[in-house]
C-alpha cells in the first residue's frame, strides 16, 4: 500500500520538475523530427526508450527516463503517444495500460491512451503530453 507521505512526495517531485522545466531555455525543433500533437516548449535531445515491437497495439508500457516515469502507448497502428505516468488526481505512478485506456490502480481514474484525456474520475485533468517520435523501429521521447 502506498502511504500518503509517498504520494505527497511524488506530487512535490513532479511539481519541482515542472517548475524547473519552465525555467529551461527553449530548444529548436530539429529538421525531420516528428512530434506529438502538442510540441514541447523545452525539448531536449531525443532518447530511445523502446522498440515499436515492444508495445502491442491498444496497450502501453511504463518507463523511467532520466528518473521521470512516463507511459508510452500504442493506441492504433503506427501511432505512438507518450505521457507523464503520474496520475493527475493524487500523484500515483501508473503502469496499467490496456484496451487503449490508462488506468490508475490507486483510485480508479481512467485516461484515454491516445490523447491523455480523462475518461473517468476522480482525476479532473488530462495527463501531461511528452514529445514522441518513431525512427525506423525505435521509439524516442524528448522533454
Distance CA 74, CA 12 (A): 29
User: Span 38-66, mean pLDDT?
Assistant: 84
Distance CA 90, CA 67 (A): 19
DSSP structural state of residue 35: -
Which domains can be identified in the chain, with CATH numbers? 4-142 (2.102.10.10)
CA distances in angstroms from 96 to 14, 19, 80, 102, listed in the order given: 19, 27, 16, 6
Split at pLDDT 50, 70, 90, the class of 8 is low
Tens-place pLDDT, residues 123-133 = 999 999 999 99
pLDDT of residue 44: 72
Amino acid at each position: 500500500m502506498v502511504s500518503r507521505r509517498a504520494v505527497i512526495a511524488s506530487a512535490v517531485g513532479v511539481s519541482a520538475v515542472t517548475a524547473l522545466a519552465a525555467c529551461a531555455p527553449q530548444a529548436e525543433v530539429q529538421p525531420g523530427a516528428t512530434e506529438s500533437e502538442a510540441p514541447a516548449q523545452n525539448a531536449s535531445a531525443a532518447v530511445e526508450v523502446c522498440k515499436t515491437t515492444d508495445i502491442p497495439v491498444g496497450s502501453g508500457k511504463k518507463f523511467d527516463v532520466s528518473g521521470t516515469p512516463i507511459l508510452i502507448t500504442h493506441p492504433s497502428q503506427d501511432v505512438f503517444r507518450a505521457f507523464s505516468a503520474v496520475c493527475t488526481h493524487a500523484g500515483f505512478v501508473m503502469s496499467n495500460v490496456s484496451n487503449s485506456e490508462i488506468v490508475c490502480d490507486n483510485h480508479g481514474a481512467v485516461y484515454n491512451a491516445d490523447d491523455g484525456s480523462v475518461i473517468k474520475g476522480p482525476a479532473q485533468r488530462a495527463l501531461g503530453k511528452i514529445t514522441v517520435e518513431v525512427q525506423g523501429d525505435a521509439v524516442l521521447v524528448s522533454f
